[in-house]
Structure 1
Amino acid sequence: MRNRQREAWAARSNSRSCCPGGGCPGVSVASGSLRSPSSLALVPHSAAVGTNQPAQPTAQTPPDSLEISLIRARSQDPTFHYRRRPPPAMPPPAPTYTRYETRRRDPDPRKAALLVIDVQGHFASLAAPIMPAIASTVALCRSAGMPVVHTRHVDRDDVPRSRPLREWWPGDRIDAGTPAAELLPGAGRAEGDLVVEKSTYSAFAGTGLEEALRRAGAEEVVVCGVMTNLCCETTARDAFVRGFRVFFSADATATASRDLHEATLANMAYGFAYIVDCMRFEAALGKVAK
């Protein structure tokens, strides 16, 4: 009798569950332990609720390039740390940025400098699809007589990383003297180009870049490189605040996803920068040459 009562009670409990089979898909009913969500098929909510038929799993959505995985801290701290998986290369850019434009202007090569942001070994996979556009942009600016400045992010033992960077990118260092810290051969560096080492998102923070640009007579900057939504966007915003007119490349910048890239272009066009690409840039410099 008691066994039959326990079986009936278990059956009623399972029938109240929102998920077929008696329990949420992330929890093992037998042991109560957590199962990895990545091993589970996605079940439509409409199929899981209000029916006695087993739901048909749909194809699992591939994880986003910046999907966050949880790892427990090795210390006694009970909180969780977040670590991002290395992002793959962004798909080749499409000329969609014009829909974001609120105003248009051509750069003046007599007053402008090109900033090539962090085209270095650490970001080689992100930069790979845009290397032809970066090479074209550098060549166009150089032929127009514009100063070309390269930046690279470097972590040095004698300079502690800032707390925010340690929190966002734990263990993700770019050590000086390693291939990750070196500029990529296709970045177009030439003898005489200024190379600026930085340790945070903005190329202006504690680097002397503003003073170097002022000495060169630059009033405008053109920003290209990686990552669109981090170092490129932060450098562009910082340049704007410091009084430079900013031009932002749509096809010579890249980041971890199309959504992040497009979001930055929309923000830049709304209130910080004029958006350009290689074709528009070539046309603008051609006008000045004539």
Structure 2
Amino acid sequence: MKALLVIDVQNAIVEFRDFHRELNRIESIIKDFKENEEPVIFIRNLDDEETSPFNKELPSSELHCSLKEYADIVIEKKTPSAFFQTELSDKLEQLGVEHLFITGFNTEFCCQFTAIAAYDRGYKVTFIEDATGTVNDEATYEMKGLDVRDFVGTALHWSNVIEVLDQEEYVEEYKVSKVSKV
């Protein structure tokens, strides 16, 4: 069984800049999974620091309203990996998941760490590069011309163990409606 992880689509990140395209891509993939009755699992980053935008008590830590309605399952985490000291592994085992699709924020942290951790736990992993986003850019890393998503996608692709697709490739490869399954 396949499952979709929607990582850290929270107000503190989504409201940082215009992520309209990324949110539309994520929503399209969510709808595909929902249509095929496959699990969609939201991951929510939380922090105990009072001043952190991810403090559980603050509205900035909430799932963003654009996708919140799709969140049937929410796993809370405190590190970049959605697997570290969370209920994610148990939930995936209960659901019989063997293949994880990764979307969300921030590409080079939580999405990448979770993809690698999933592979390390024996899952087939598909990283949908253009359905991830980041608040960081070339200035953050002092690397002129850096495209963070492309860099992470390329590194994961070169691993030869994590499949990296853009949304269009995902649709070509995996989108199969219930009607065509019959």
How big is the shift at 1:267? 1.3
Write the letter of the residue equivalent to 1:141: F
1:175 aligns with 2:55: yes
Q: TM-score, normalised by structure 2?
A: 0.83
Amino acid at match of 2:32: L
Q: Return the structure number with greater relative CO, CA threshold 8 A, min gap 6.
A: 2
Q: Is the 8 A contact 1:139 1:188 kept in 2?
A: no
Aligned partner of 2:60: which letter? A
Equivalent residue for 2:155?
Answer: 267
Please identify runs of 4+ aligned residues in structure 1 that moved more than 3 A. 126-129, 287-290
Pairing partner for 2:111 from 232, 237, 244: 232
Deviation of the 1:259 alpha carbon: 2.1
One-letter identity of the residue aligned with 1:116 = V
Give the Å deviation of 1:115: 0.2
**Identity percentage over the alignment?**
29
* Amino acid in the other structure paired with 1:144: N
Counterpart in the other structure of 2:43: 151
Amino acid paired to 2:2: A
Mapping of residues 94-109 of structure 1, within 5 Å: none
Letter in 2 for 1:216: L
Q: Distance in 2 between matches of 1:222 and 1:241?
A: 15
Q: Supply the distance in 1 between the matched residues of 2:34 and 2:167 (Cα, whole angstroms).
A: 13
DSSP 3-state at the match of 1:115: strand
Are 1:136 and 1:278, in contact at CA under 8 Å, matched by a contact in 2? no
Would the aligned equivalents of 2:32 and 2:177 in 1 still touch at CA under 8 Å? no
Please give the residue correspondences for 1:1-290 in structure 2 after superposition, counting only pairs within 5 Å: 111-124=1-14, 125-126=16-17, 127-156=19-48, 172-187=52-67, 189-190=69-70, 193-255=72-134, 256-257=136-137, 259-271=147-159, 272-283=161-172, 284-286=174-176, 289-290=180-181
Q: Secondary structure at the match of 1:202?
A: coil
Report deviation, 1:172: 4.5
Query: Does the 8 Å contact 2:35/2:177 carry over to 1?
Result: no
Local SS of the residue matching 2:86? coil
Q: Distance in 1 between matches of 2:68 and 2:44?
A: 14
Distance 1:287 1:186 in 2: 23
8 A contact 1:203–1:209 mirrored in 2: yes
C-alpha distance in structure 1 between counterparts of 2:167 and 2:150, whole Å: 17
Tell me the CA shift for residue 197 of structure 1.
0.8
Q: Deviations over 1:78-137 (max 9, x none)?
A: xxxxxxxxxxxxxxxxxxxxxxxxxxxxxxxxx110000000011013544411111111
Q: Which structure's residues are more often strand, by fraction?
A: 2
| Matched residue, 1:14 | none
Cα shift at 1:287: 7.8
TM-score with structure 1 length normalisation?
0.54
Which structure has the greater CA radius of gyration? 1
Q: Secondary structure at the match of 1:119?
A: coil
Q: C-alpha offsets along residues 158-217 of structure 1, whole Å, 9 cap, x if unaligned?
A: 9xxxxxxxxxxxx645111211110011125436x1101111100000001011101100
Residue 211 of structure 1 aligns with an amino acid whose one-letter code is D
